[in-house]
Amino acid sequence: MKRHIFSEAANYGLHTKCTNLAICVIAIALVAVPNIVPANAGTENIQPITNEMLLSAQDDPESWLMYGRDYKSWRYSQLTQVNTENVNKLVTKWAFQIGTPYDKFECTPLVVDGVMIITTPYSTIYAVDARTGKEIWRYDYELPDDLAICCGMVNRGAAILGEKVFWTTLDAHLLALDVKTGRVLWDRVVGDLTNAESLTVAPLVVKDKVIVGISGAEYGIRGYIDAYYAETGEQAWRFYTVPSKDEPGGDTWEGDSWMTGGGSAWVTGSYDPELNLVYWGTGNPAPDWNGAVRRGDNLYTDCIVALDADTGKLKWYFQATPHDLWDWDGVSEPVLIDMEIDGAPVKALMQANRNGYFYVLDRTNGKFLYASTYCEQNWSAGLDENGRPTVKPGVSTSEEGTIRVCPGVEGGKNWPPSAYNPLTNYLYVPSLELCGSYHQGRVFYLKGLPYLGSGMTAEKDEDGDMMMWGHISAIDISTGEIKWRHKTNFPQWGGCLTTAGGLVFAGDLEGRFMALSAENGEVLWDFQTGSGVLAPPITYQLDGVQYVAIASGAVKYAEVNARQGGTLFVFALFDE
């Protein structure tokens, strides 16, 4: 089996796009593994997951039923057995190795009735005993030859409804599997593999539908968000993140540039059941760094879009970076919160955007409420009353020569998710501090090949070392003020989990998995996983025991010793 992968440029980052196709497209020879479906011992007690259970997922301490834990994407648990007083007694209970060295293990596992569902970068899915790590069943999906993807082999998780597990593959299929056996119940083609469309997203189940977003903007696709009926796999609706010329927003694309306009939707969205709205972040326009061939605001790229869950119709949008020239995907998770602003209750949505701003919007209509910066940024002179930025002179990739822009192409925050704790009222954001130097390049479109239009390198000091670091920042959502920061030696890619035990859990690129005080950021415990951590942690409780789980595994890049090898670790308190 042979897969052509649009890989990361080793000189500056994990999600950076290459500009030299000769070194950017690589072939990896892999041995096809047959599908394996062992006996279903260990899954016989799994009960069907209902919509009511998903709606109350936040209140279920024994389970982790969806990507963001609940529809609000808080990644918060009420569990308190592990807390600030005893977290230093955490020990490893079991570990599960996925056996693939060249991966970014970005999975958020599901836990249901004592069974954990794990997805891997190379399109394999496992069910294991959540108490012991014993494999129950596994399904190996055989990927086709000549697979074109950006950026690396990735899968971020699964979804569940009834007795079906829903899961995406790198060749843009959506599968439904029997949760008890791993048997495939239906398999639907979502995207066009020949057009470099792929799926890395964890699906979102809303009522009777399974919602996914496509990847592939770096190849000049026209992005979309799809919904499929959970029972049959039949398509329910499609929303194009790049409108055609005769649709609303189509006039924000010059000529026919909308046809190759990008707008991937590769991170799982959120859902408000009262408003019946799905909120989803959309990615960069294409070509990434050359706006001369796509003049205009380029809707609905770099947006949060609010879609009717039943029909997929657009209700409102907010564009953080009009006419993006720096590859600042707006795909970060929308976090839903009810709060007070100026003494009045507001149904709000907040997002730490890749462009360096933390935004708070009214989620009923998309109205801009306020924003603040959470990392170094030099590109914007401020936001107007509608949240539209004023771009400073000298930071446009259309200008001659090399320009310095902060944040760099990785953004101030990339895909790894934040976490919100209602007890502190803080949003914990994994952040990157990495500026970049851009230069203009020529661009032309060929189907199935990278469509970028410029180049970028990370900023270096006088000795030629990369100038980069990161932090986990606690943002007071009422004011946007940063209350504390935990600095990391390299850009902070590990996603966050927070608990009622007063803790924030996260890993870093040096392989440390940490527990921090949610109140002040003090590191209370850490564990060396042996490989860089990108994934967000989860927690669950079985038989009165609270467990904390984290997937560890990152590619080696730049000056970061992110050793390779994917392992899922599960911890609990030492039983004396």
Q: Known catalytic residues? A: 327
* Residue position matching structure tokens 């914007």: 380
Q: Within its chain, how far is the Cα of 134 from the centroid?
A: 28
Residue 345 has a CB neighbour count (10 Å cut-off) of 9
- First CA to last CA distance, the chain: 49
CA separation for the pair 147, 348 (Å, rounded):
40
**Residue 117's closest CA among 149, 154, 155?**
155
Q: How far is CA 82 from CA 65, 77, 395, 540, 546, in A?
A: 20, 11, 47, 11, 7
Which amino acid is residue 386, in one-letter code?
Answer: N
> Could you tell me the sign of the dihedral formed by the alpha carbons of 136, 212, 334, 534, in that order?
positive
Which amino acid is residue 41, in one-letter code?
Answer: A
Indicate the DSSP class of residue 259: G
Residues 6 or more apart in contact with residue 134 via CB below 8 angstroms: 42, 128
Coil/strand/helix, residue 279: strand
CA separation for the pair 329, 409 (Å, rounded):
9
The two structure tokens encoding residue 390: 């004023």
**Residue 503's closest CA among 33, 58, 84, 15?**
84
